[in-house]
Amino acid sequence: MDLKKVDSILEKHGCRHSEVIGIMQDLQEIENYLPQEMLRYISGKLELKLTRIFDIATFYKCFSLVPRGRHIVRVCCGTACHLGGAARNLEQVKRLLNVEAGETTDDRNFSLETVNCLGTCALAPVIVVDGDYYDAVHPGKIENILSGYYNAESEG
Amino acid sequence: MKRIGTVSGLEELRGSILKKKDPEKTIIRICNTGCRARRSSKVIAAFEREIVDQALQDRIEIKGTGCHGFCEMGPIVVVDPANIFYCRVRPEDVADILSETALKGKVLERLVWKDPHTKEPVIFEKDIPFYEKQKKIVSHNSGRIDPTDIEDYIAVEGYKALAKSLTAMTPAEVVETAVASGIRGRGGGGFPTGIKWRICSNAPGDTKYIIANGDEGDPGAFMDRSLMEGDPHSIIEGMIIGGYAIGARQGIIYVRDEYPIAIMHLSCAIKQAEEYGLLGRDILGSAFDFTLKISRGAGAFVCGEETALMISIEGRSGTPRSRPPYPAIEGLWGKPTVLNNVETFANIPQIILNGAPWYSAIGTSGSKGTKIFSLVGKVRNTGLVEVETGTTLREIIFEIGGGIRKGKRFKAVQTGGPSGGCIPISKIDMPVDYDSLREAGAIMGSGGMIVMDETSCMVDVARYFINFLMFESCGKCVPCREGLKQMHEILKNICEGRGQRGDIELLSDLAGVMTTASLCALGGTAPNPVLSTIRYFRDEYEAHIFDKKCPAGVCKNLFEYVIDEERCNGCTLCQLRCPQGAISGEKKKPHVIDRERCIKCGICYSICRREAIRVK
């Protein structure tokens, strides 16, 4: 845990209890998830009970308590995407990666997530990989989309 | 330096900005928000590179704007002053746009919009049917101004309404103008905004808050996103005016975490408004102080509910509390608080500038003004449309929206997100306003309008929304938590072929309990998607339960893929791509699907170029 980074985030938010959600969002950006030791540390610093921090971390969907993969595949399951076949797309991603939604592949290359709506409904159905948007996705396109995210990490 | 201290200072600045603008100069406007998902930033980068290469910096200006609305055709590029409208522009087109259109005024026919029926090219935005029927009051700046430049907003009369409110009107006059305009909350509930302001301004206490709800959680809706991204200053201006009206000196914009560009543009706008003295102390010399900050949501649908949203701002997990006391009396940190949707705030400057009589003359008797809808789903022209309330569904879907894609038949339109309902073809000529929609079993909601065709299964749609809400229910009250779980169980059974006689009645019974006994609107309105689909599409439920068939071909256990022998030309594409090896046949002869092996992944269905894969 990079204490310097954590401290500077706490300082930016003025260590206020009301800022705890924002603090945790910023902290999550460091390692893409919230390690337990980090939460224990801020609990002490903010003088805020660990149970409350855990409550927040599990209530809000954007927080993860487990490490995530190098690439995050987000399948939009908004209404427009659903009508366009998001469920079929999700099935296909699950089959290809061999994980369920919310899980990470064994090689830590991909995490699969579903999202309620990305607000890009006009492009439905949408899949986003690390901020790259793919529109009008159908099951036949998915293997090709994912294939672009295997190369960079081949060294391990 | 930049700080404007007086109203005349603001007018002087506006004058000097306008003077600097050369009306003859070529300005190329490109959507740099929603169209980014279609890689518009690459188009912008290409323009910027090309302009430097051709040394055109003095003659041509590139402007990244908010959403133009016609998302279906994105990335959209408009060349001004001629106002030439280009669709689906790629980086490869940039050189031609500069050399032909910008410099020679020649229209590139390959990039203009073409009428799908007559194939006639249409050059100007105003002539495209998608725009013709719209009335843009709130979204008029989006797509025209650079949202990251406050001076662009000031040039189009920005902050004029604020100046008018602070110097020529008392807070009570501002409140009464809002009341007289008849504007109702754009977030879903439709409560009269002016009345809410009046209650809060009369509430005792020195500390009050004003909050903009930008937690656009309804799936299938993105009006608020486009406003926050494309015209953030109009929201800020509306909030300062609202703060002045009710006596709040602190405002908060609560934005969904899934909208990073909105957060970026709002942060930038707040910073600029502070630098120009439009936020902070003694705004425009009026002695009124007002500060504004952003609170990021963290991915919880229930936080769109006002009490939950406030609890979330306080730094806790956002579960709703019972009302009364209403937030206008006891809200954030226990203080009187007004919470309005961002679209409501964006209306306010226009109401102040043009007056309540002007506003109340627009729309229907019970629903004034305009409403932005996100028109998506199986409609041809997807995007954002702003229409006068009272416009009929037919006008929105068939005239603006251009009808249904791929020549399919319209089945229903879903409005209001998970709290709304599905409206069938028989009600297509219904005017769209708060009261008519409610009567039809749906709601206006925040403005999602999702069009469904014959390939959409209405039981699956109901199951989809109930599943969504089941995960998003905070779990605090039993009727919502357990009701949704049981409803989902029943609907899942129906969709998977285990439906039983009596299921429809049981769903209706559960709905009654949830509507009456839930703590907040999430649970109270949750049964709407189920009730409205039962009301209008009971036959589909019965087909699932009794015949074990999904007529639309959505519910996996209740249909099969088959190959239409007449259409299949034996191209072998599906055979090659089938992950199960379930498709066989000779080249150039009709193929067949092995029912036993097929897992209904849908690959063959989606890739067949001849639409030879059918649902049975």
Are residues B326 and B181 part of one domain? yes
Closest by alpha carbon to B242, among B294, B205, B290, B202? Answer: B290
Segment 359-388 of chain B within 8 Å of chain A by CB: 374, 376-378, 382-383
Amino acid occupying residue B438:
R
End position of a domain, from candidates B518, B545, B572: B545
Number of C-beta neighbours around residue B130 at 10 A: 23
CATH number for the domain including B535?
1.20.1440.230
Tell me how close the Cα of B106 comes to any Cα of chain A, in angstroms: 30
Neighbouring C-alpha atoms within 13 Å toward the C-beta of B203: 27
pLDDT in tens, B386-416: 999 999 999 999 999 999 998 899 999 999 9
Residue A131 — very low, low, confident or very high, per pLDDT cuts 50/70/90?
confident
Amino acid occupying residue A140:
G
How many Cβ pairs within 8 Å bridge chains A and B? 148
The answer to ipTM > 0.95 is no
* Partners of A113 in the β-ladder: A74
Tell me how close the Cα of B349 comes to any Cα of chain A, in angstroms: 26
Beta carbons of B257 and A21 less than 8 Å apart: no
For B409, the domain range is 370-453
Distance CA B59, CA B370 (A): 37
B416 and B443 Cβ atoms separated by less than 8 Å = yes
Chain A residue with CA closest to B67: the answer is A120
Are residues B75 and B55 part of one domain? yes
Using a CB-CB distance cutoff of 8 angstroms, which residues of chain A are in contact with residue B472? 116
Residue B16 covered by a domain: no
Are residues B273 and B193 part of one domain? yes
Q: Is the pLDDT of residue A152 over 70?
A: no
Say what the pLDDT of residue A2 is: 87
Amino acid occupying residue B382:
T
Are residues B391 and B277 part of one domain? no
Number of C-beta neighbours around residue A46 at 10 A: 19
CATH number for the domain including B569?
3.30.70.20
Q: Is the pLDDT of residue A156 over 70?
A: no
- Mean pLDDT to the nearest integer, B129-136: 95
Say what the pLDDT of residue B445 is: 85
Beta carbons of A18 and B221 less than 8 Å apart: no
Distance CA B64, CA B386 (A): 21
Asked if A22 is an interface residue toward chain B (Cβ–Cβ < 8 A), one would say: yes
Are residues B114 and B93 part of one domain? yes
SS3 of chain A: helix, strand, coil, percent, to 5: 50, 10, 40
Residue B554 covered by a domain: no
Neighbouring C-alpha atoms within 13 Å toward the C-beta of B49: 10
Segment 416-455 of chain B within 8 Å of chain A by CB: 417, 448, 450, 452
Residue B5 covered by a domain: no
Q: Which fold has domain A71-147?
A: Glutaredoxin (3.40.30)
Beta carbons of A21 and B298 less than 8 Å apart: yes
Report how many domains make up chain B: 5
Are residues B515 and B445 part of one domain? no
CATH number for the domain including B58?
3.40.30.10
Domain ranges in chain A are 3-59, 71-147
- Mean pLDDT to the nearest integer, A74-100: 95
User: What is chain A's alpha carbon radius of gyration, rounded to the nearest angstrom?
Assistant: 18
Distance CA B574, CA B555 (A): 21
Say what the pLDDT of residue B1 is: 54
- Mean pLDDT, all residues of chain B: 95
Q: Is the pLDDT of residue B109 over 50?
A: yes
Percent of chain B at pLDDT above 70? 100
- Mean pLDDT to the nearest integer, B333-340: 98
pTM: 0.94
Beta carbons of B377 and A17 less than 8 Å apart: no
Chain B residue with CA closest to A61: the answer is B299
- Pairing mode, strands B26-31 and A132-134: unpaired
Q: Is the pLDDT of residue A140 over 50?
A: yes
Beta carbons of A62 and B315 less than 8 Å apart: no
B243 and B251 Cβ atoms separated by less than 8 Å = yes
Asked if A43 is an interface residue toward chain B (Cβ–Cβ < 8 A), one would say: no
Are residues B322 and B225 part of one domain? yes
Are residues B314 and B187 part of one domain? yes
Residue B13 covered by a domain: no
Q: Is the pLDDT of residue A154 over 60?
A: no
Using a CB-CB distance cutoff of 8 angstroms, which residues of chain A are in contact with residue B225? 119
* Strand blocks (E) in B230-329: 250-255, 291-296
> In the 3-class helix/strand/coil scheme, how is B188-221 assigned residue by residue?
CCCCEHHHHHHHHHHCCCCCCEEEEEECCCCCCC
Write the residue in A17, A117, A120 that is nearest to B34 by C-beta.
Answer: A120
What letter does residue A104 receive in the DSSP assignment? B
Residue B47 covered by a domain: yes
Using a CB-CB distance cutoff of 8 angstroms, which residues of chain A are in contact with residue B383? 122
pLDDT in tens, B517-561: 999 999 999 999 999 999 999 999 999 999 999 999 999 999 999
- Mean pLDDT to the nearest integer, B122-127: 93
Say what the pLDDT of residue B188 is: 80
Say what the pLDDT of residue A155 is: 41
Using a CB-CB distance cutoff of 8 angstroms, which residues of chain B are in contact with residue A116? 217, 219, 258, 299, 301, 468, 472
At B528, list the tokens: 């709407």
- Mean pLDDT to the nearest integer, B378-383: 95
End position of a domain, from candidates B545, B569, B601: B545
Asked if A26 is an interface residue toward chain B (Cβ–Cβ < 8 A), one would say: no
* Partners of B409 in the β-ladder: none
Tell me how close the Cα of A54 comes to any Cα of chain B, in angstroms: 10
Percent of chain A at pLDDT above 70? 96
pLDDT in tens, B157-207: 999 999 999 999 999 999 999 999 999 999 888 899 999 999 999 999 999
Percent of chain B at pLDDT above 90? 91
Are residues B444 and B466 part of one domain? no
Residue B486 — very low, low, confident or very high, per pLDDT cuts 50/70/90?
very high
Four-CA torsion B348, B352, B358, B360, nearest 10 degrees: 50
Closest by alpha carbon to B595, among B546, B552, B556, B545? Answer: B556
Are residues B610 and B469 part of one domain? no
Are residues B491 and B389 part of one domain? no
Say what the pLDDT of residue B473 is: 96
Beta carbons of B314 and A78 less than 8 Å apart: no
Are residues B216 and B69 part of one domain? no
